[in-house]
Amino acid sequence: MNKNSFQLTESFAMELDKADVLNKYRDEFYLQPNSIYMDGNSLGLISKRAEKTLLESIEDWKTLGIDGWLEGKHPWFYLSERLGSLTAPLVGALTEEVIVTGSTTVNLHQLVATFYQPKGKRTKILADELNFPSDIYALQSQLKLKGYDPNEHLVRVESRDGRLIEEDDIIAAMSDEIALIILPTVLYRSGQLLDMERLTKEAHDRGILIGFDGCHSVGAIPHELSKWGVDFAYWCNYKYLNSGPGGVASLYVNKKHFNQVPGLTGWFGSSKDKQFDMEHIFTPAEHAGAFQIGTPHVFSTAPLLGSLEIFTEATIDKVREKSLYSTAYMMYLMESELAGLGFEIGNPRDDVRRGGHVCLEHKEAARICKALKANGVIPDFRSPNIIRLAPIALYNTYHDVWKVIQILKRIMNDKEYEKFENKRGVVA
């Protein structure tokens, strides 16, 4: 598809939809009438297949009781490993390097407790000032547990413009005092995609371990974690992977670290054949499963089975291709239709630096988001001035993109947004 051939007409958007090979998956999702959902980068929609695998697991409980751990449609005892193997192709990992477990922040605590090993002058953790707050809270907590002052030992790379983090600045901060690096794959506000391969190489050249938060990239962007030599990664599954609110998260550990005893041990990290021996000696699994802590939340895990089935069919490469094209189309329409209305695009324009959403900035962003919702468009607000819009490859159409910009244009021209307070809700 040629981005230079974009047109402003509604018929052009509809022609794009006719040629879209992923358009058939739209019917797989529960879409509400008279509504355009553009918040899939925060919480993805439920698919019929995800609903099916959840109901099948509930049926296993109804009919089998405790025997559901080893019998039934989706035996619970091996569910996390099975899902890890289905997820591995999305992140470019070996089957045994991925496990579905815990929550994003719990998994970060686990990984930092394991891989943060301060020694000599290497006592500091390197992060960035634009990272999601939960990651920073966890890093501060882990430093305190090791007896270090986060104000001194948590180094945060500064942004030059409040939107982006330059890889050169990250590399410049990789001093001989850094023991561990934690970075997002995609910045949650601006949608900037970091060069994970380059950063991993630079970290390893300096003897530093590096891990990534993939919450805003997994399911939207292909990864090659094993090929790049990334030490570890962690991510949620309820955004682009559509596993449901609070769905169980995932982690990746490079196989070269399988001999590392997890910093936080629990019985579900045991070798499967030893778990029910009930010994007081921990025998870890010989793969990423060792980094599990407690019993999996089966009903928050089961929907991911159906969701990943769709990704296996659609392929992450096709998802990325459409995502890039639809966000480029959205930016083209914004620049053409919203000119002079006070908007500014805050995300990178280059494909290699852009994640799965568009970051649209406006001083009246909070009330504009409320006006969009009143007109059937579901956006995402980030304080103080960001409207995040995510055309999701599996269920949003190009016609959706076109209609959203037309609605936004009307809201601004008619000053509909002035009816609302420029203040975020409890959940933005």
383 assigned to a ligand binding site:
no
295 assigned to a ligand binding site:
yes
216 assigned to a ligand binding site:
yes
311 assigned to a ligand binding site:
no
Helix (H) or strand (E) holding 62: helix 48-64
Whether omega for the bond prior to residue 118 falls within 30 degrees of 0, making it cis, is no
Report yes or no: 361 and 344 within 8 Å, Cβ to Cβ.
yes
DSSP state at residue 215: T
Report yes or no: 379 and 388 within 8 Å, Cβ to Cβ.
yes
Three-class secondary structure of residue 325 per DSSP: helix
- Which of 216, 185, 223 minimizes the C-alpha distance to 90? 223
CA atoms within 13 A on the CB side of 116: 29
Helix (H) or strand (E) holding 204: helix 196-205
133 assigned to a ligand binding site:
yes
CA atoms within 13 A on the CB side of 31: 20
351 assigned to a ligand binding site:
no
134 assigned to a ligand binding site:
yes
Say if residue 142 is exposed, middle or buried (CB neighbours under 10 Å; 0-12, 13-18, 19+). buried
- CA–CA distance, 228 with 219 (Å, rounded to integer): 18
- Which of 214, 254, 202 minimizes the C-alpha distance to 232? 254
Q: Token pair of 262, please?
A: 């997890």
213 assigned to a ligand binding site:
yes
69 assigned to a ligand binding site:
no
Show binding-site residues.
104-105, 132-135, 213, 216, 238, 267, 295
Show binding-site residues for pyridoxal 5'-phosphate.
104-105, 132-135, 213, 216, 238, 267, 295
